């Protein structure tokens, strides 16, 4: 039926029964696909920026139609089924149909009506069992290739759903829907599910290489600002520095020892109540003088901000009465229990974002603090009953994954409006597009174990492929670890070596034994973990950590050069071997090594008591082992010796860094 198809500039429209389907050119070699059974198409771009100008070719016949945008083409048949092709006319992705067995009655676009509400959506695609899929953000698991995995499309502490996938078949796919859901990358079928939504919305691009795919995605979802110079150095943190004197004592000690330090961190409960967003003056009597002294030492101060508002906070009543707090659908109106009952501010509402930034500016920014730690950003509900929470923009089931995106926007816009050209905010969760708000994602409260450490390697790579070039983990892990324990000291050394070659290098953790609280109210009613400075783990570890601190300092210009590329092109700094060497089949299978920029190959030591490890060197370059100076031709596996002081690092032969120029 030809009247079911319509061309509208760069958009192919199909209407049939209650469905309206749009297929639209959206950036180079890319298409955006939207479908709804509402009367009009919902108007949200979510992760996407306005469509860059491209010229699509649309062909409409009586029973089928096609749209071509550069090297990608979508065809839709009389039944409404979609198939995507590359420039070589090879199938990239095809909607699932039950064409081989009509009785199954499953479709590629399955809107299941929720009585009295929206729809549960399942988008199904055929699956190539040999395909490899990467990206998707931060999941605490050891797999780099997520083919065969089931991933929850929801944020939790240490889990950040960033639903952009890079396929070995030559396409990138963004699930542009912030609803709570799930994706299954099965061998037999791929299924994307949204628990409550009014629209199917995804974006697909074709590319000859992973780099082309990721860079095209950055062009439509946004790129990170240029990382500020100080951020390339070393960041010092522990569970809590409890007083102004304690924090300054640590900063002075770093300088006394001649150790490089770029950032020091004040963590949670430096405030009287959650939601006050200010220092407790009993413990932090003169923040402006503290910041001034740190700046004189060449150190930036980062301060933790939580989105929680205690009922005892001086801001609670005003925020509650003006509708600036998240609501619950049933039960007591509490979204998190920590010390007291609290509610999260509603970051999806502009008035709430403005209120929080105005308060933060008065009590932190105006004293010289320009770097913020946006904790609890998922947000971390006391119970992850997503169906019970409601935001200004809709229910958590429908739009919940947008929260950390809007939380980061709060601080990005506030900082930019007040003259900070290169904002950076550490945050515990992110969604697609978060990178454009200066988001530095970290991997949350992970365990201080080698098993947890091993997960971080693939997480860093997959986060980069999902569009966020700024990432780090708590060096040593967050949960536990005794600085006097030889096994933990080994873990700290190995994690510290890995952290040296991460986009940001930050030592943090809640060490044991626990230090008791210093008071009964305000900022004094919460204790802290044990010491967590580089000199806290014994003489042998201190010597090793010094070595890598100095190496990090030596690499700063190299790191900043990679951050410039990330800013301009969206290129991840930390990336799998196949990103630079896609023609090497073996490079696609390596999950425990990575490239740190184009010239440094990193092979972390991921198991305790390891004295050697195998390292694969990709085809297309020769590689110099930094520790020994030996040169190897790519395309082979070598064995590196790994005493506790050594992490295998290989420099690309012919690069400036291999020739001794670290700039």
Exposed/middle/buried for 491, CB within 10 Å: 0-12, 13-18, 19+? Answer: buried
Percent of the chain exceeding pLDDT 70 equals: 99
Helix (H, G, I), strand (E, B) or coil at 190: strand
Q: Which residue has the tokens 């939504």?
A: 197
Q: Which residues are catalytic?
A: 375, 378, 445
Out of 1.10.287.3610, 3.30.70.360, 2.60.40.1180, 3.30.465.10, the CATH code matching 576-652 is: 2.60.40.1180
- Amino acid 284: pLDDT: 97
CA–CA dist 566, 223 (Å, integer): 7
Whether residue 9 is predicted with pLDDT greater than 50 in this model: the reply is yes
CA-based nearest residue to 236, from 540, 489, 532: 532
Q: CB count, 10 Å around CB of 174? A: 28
* pTM of the predicted structure, to 2 decimals: 0.98
Q: Categorize the per-residue pLDDT at 1 as very low, low, confident or very high, splitting at 50, 70 and 90.
A: very low
Question: Mean pLDDT in the chain?
Answer: 96
CA–CA dist 61, 210 (Å, integer): 34
User: For residue 550, what are its two tokens?
Assistant: 């100095």
Taking CA 261 as the corner, what is the angle to CA 306 and CA 575, rounded to the nearest 5 degrees?
Answer: 75
Whether residue 99 is predicted with pLDDT greater than 70 in this model: the reply is no
CA-based nearest residue to 46, from 409, 389, 385: 409
Domain 2-206 superfamily per CATH? glycosyl hydrolase (family 31) (2.60.40.1760)
Q: State the helix-helix crossing angle for 486-500 and 539-554, rounded to 10 degrees.
A: 0
Q: Which residues contact 262 (CB under 8 A, 6 or more apart)?
A: 230, 231, 232, 233, 234, 235, 298, 299, 300
Q: Where in the chain is the domain with CATH 2.60.40.1760?
A: 2-206
Residue 649 β-bridge partners: 602
The reply to whether CATH 3.20.20.80 applies to domain 229-569 is: yes
CA–CA dist 507, 302 (Å, integer): 13
Element (H, E) at 267: none
Q: Where in the chain is the domain with CATH 2.60.40.1180?
A: 576-652
Sheet holding 425-427, edge to edge: 471-472, 439-442, 425-427, 371-374, 300-305, 263-266, 234-236, 505-507
Exposed/middle/buried for 62, CB within 10 Å: 0-12, 13-18, 19+? Answer: exposed
- Amino acid 105: pLDDT: 72
User: For residue 618, what are its two tokens?
Assistant: 């990709």
CA–CA dist 149, 579 (Å, integer): 21
Percent of the chain exceeding pLDDT 90 equals: 94
Q: Categorize the per-residue pLDDT at 2 as very low, low, confident or very high, splitting at 50, 70 and 90.
A: very low
Q: Where in the chain is the domain with CATH 3.20.20.80?
A: 229-569
**Which range has the worst mean pLDDT, 349-363, 493-507, 518-532?**
518-532
**Residue 203 backbone dihedrals phi, psi, to 5 degrees:** -130, 135
Exposed/middle/buried for 333, CB within 10 Å: 0-12, 13-18, 19+? Answer: middle
């Amino acid at each position: 039926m030809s009247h079911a198809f319509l061309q509208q500039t760069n958009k192919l429209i199909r209407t049939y029964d209650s469905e309206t389907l749009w297929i639209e050119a959206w950036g180079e070699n890319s298409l955006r696909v939207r479908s709804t059974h509402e009367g009009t198409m919902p108007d949200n771009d979510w992760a996407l920026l306005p469509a860059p100008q491209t010229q699509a070719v649309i062909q409409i016949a009586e029973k089928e139609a096609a749209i071509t945008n550069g090297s990608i083409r979508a065809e839709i048949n009389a039944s409404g089924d979609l198939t995507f092709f590359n420039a070589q006319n090879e199938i990239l992705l095809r909607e699932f149909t039950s064409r081989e067995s009509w009785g199954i009655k499953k479709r590629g676009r399955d809107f299941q009506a929720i009585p009295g509400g929206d729809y549960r959506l399942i988008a199904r695609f055929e699956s190539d069992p040999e395909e490899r899929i990467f990206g998707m953000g931060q999941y605490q698991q050891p797999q780099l290739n997520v083919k065969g995995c089931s991933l929850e499309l929801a944020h939790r502490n240490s889990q950040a759903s960033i639903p952009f996938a890079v396929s070995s078949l030559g396409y990138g796919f963004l699930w542009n829907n912030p609803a709570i859901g799930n994706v299954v990358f099965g061998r037999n079928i791929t299924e994307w599910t949204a628990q409550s939504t009014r629209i199917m919305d995804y974006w697909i691009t074709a590319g000859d290489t992973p780099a082309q795919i990721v860079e095209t995605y950055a062009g439509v979802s946004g790129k990170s600002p240029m990382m500020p110079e100080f951020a390339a150095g070393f960041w010092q943190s522990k569970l809590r520095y409890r007083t102004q004197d304690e924090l300054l004592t640590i900063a002075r000690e770093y300088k006394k020892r001649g150790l490089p330090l770029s950032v020091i961190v004040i963590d949670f409960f430096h405030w009287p109540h959650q939601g006050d967003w200010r220092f407790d003056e009993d413990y932090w009597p003169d923040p402006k003088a503290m910041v001034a002294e740190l700046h004189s030492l060449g150190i930036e101060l980062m301060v933790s901000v939580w989105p929680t508002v205690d009922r005892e906070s001086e801001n609670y009543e005003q925020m509650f009465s003006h509708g600036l707090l998240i609501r619950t659908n049933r039960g007591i109106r509490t979204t998190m229990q920590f010390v007291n009952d609290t509610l999260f501010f509603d970051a999806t509402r502009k008035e709430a974002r403005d209120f929080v930034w105005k308060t933060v500016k008065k009590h932190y920014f105006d004293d010289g603090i320009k770097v913020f730690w946006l904790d609890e950003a998922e947000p971390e509900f006391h119970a992850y009953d997503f169906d019970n929470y409601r935001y200004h923009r809709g229910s958590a089931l429908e739009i919940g994954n947008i929260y950390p995106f809007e939380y980061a926007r709060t601080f990005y816009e506030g900082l930019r409006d007040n003259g900070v050209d290169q904002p950076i905010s550490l945050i515990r969760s992110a969604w697609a597009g978060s990178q454009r708000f200066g988001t530095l994602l970290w991997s949350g409260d992970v365990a201080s174990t080698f098993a947890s450490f091993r997960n971080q390697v693939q997480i860093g790579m997959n986060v980069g492929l999902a569009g966020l070039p700024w990432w780090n983990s708590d060096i040593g892990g967050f949960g536990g670890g005794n600085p006097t324990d030889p096994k933990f000291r080994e873990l700290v050394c190995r994690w510290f070596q890995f952290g040296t070659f991460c986009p940001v290098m930050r030592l943090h953790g809640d060490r044991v034994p626990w230090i008791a609280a210093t008071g009964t109210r305000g900022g004094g009613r919460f204790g802290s973990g044990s010491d967590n400075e580089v000199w806290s783990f014994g003489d042998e570890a201190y010597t090793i950590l010094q070595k890598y601190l100095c190496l990090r300092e030596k690499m700063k210009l190299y790191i900043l050069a990679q951050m410039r590329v990330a800013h301009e092109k969206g290129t991840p700094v930390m990336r799998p071997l196949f990103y630079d060497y896609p023609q090497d089949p073996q490079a696609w299978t390596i999950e425990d090594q990575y490239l740190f920029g184009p010239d440094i190959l990193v092979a972390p030591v991921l198991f305790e008591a390891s004295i050697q490890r195998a390292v694969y060197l990709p085809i297309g370059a020769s590689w110099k082992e930094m520790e020994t100076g030996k040169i190897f031709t790519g395309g082979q596996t070598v064995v590196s010796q790994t005493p506790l002081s050594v992490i295998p690092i290989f420099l690309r032969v012919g690069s400036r860094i291999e020739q001794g120029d670290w700039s």
